[in-house]
Amino acid sequence: MSPLVSPRFFSEMEVARHCTKYSCWVLLGTRVYDVTGFLRMHPGGEALILHRSGNDISLEMEGPPHRHSENARRWMEQYYIGELDTDSNADETQVQAIILCLR
């Protein structure tokens, strides 16, 4: 995303809805990434990402079992689509997200 373009903002609920192999979003802190196109390329397999889809993957990026390289972090930036709207209601969002991804 160009620095001259304002980022898009997404609610936690909107991010949580994208929890399938057809639309897979993750958070890294407050940054939102659409990693759908990366699923098949992930060295650890797509299931590792799908299991965490719609959620913050910061802990997984830091490890264990391993800390992702700076190269992996730079690579991820091509999937950046916006920022988390931190004003959204987190408690309601988490309950709804669990329900959506269990369907």
CATH top-level class of 8-96: alpha beta
Domain ranges of the chain: 8-96
- 14 closest CA partner among 28, 26, 1, 29: 26
DSSP annotation of 7:
P
Low-confidence ranges of the chain (pLDDT < 50): none
Tokens of 100: 């959506």
Contact predicate 79/24, CB 8 Å: no
Q: Tens digits of per-residue pLDDT, 88-99? A: 655 555 555 555
The pLDDT score that the predictor gives to residue 84 is 97
Tokens of 57: 């993957």
- 93 closest CA partner among 16, 9, 10: 16
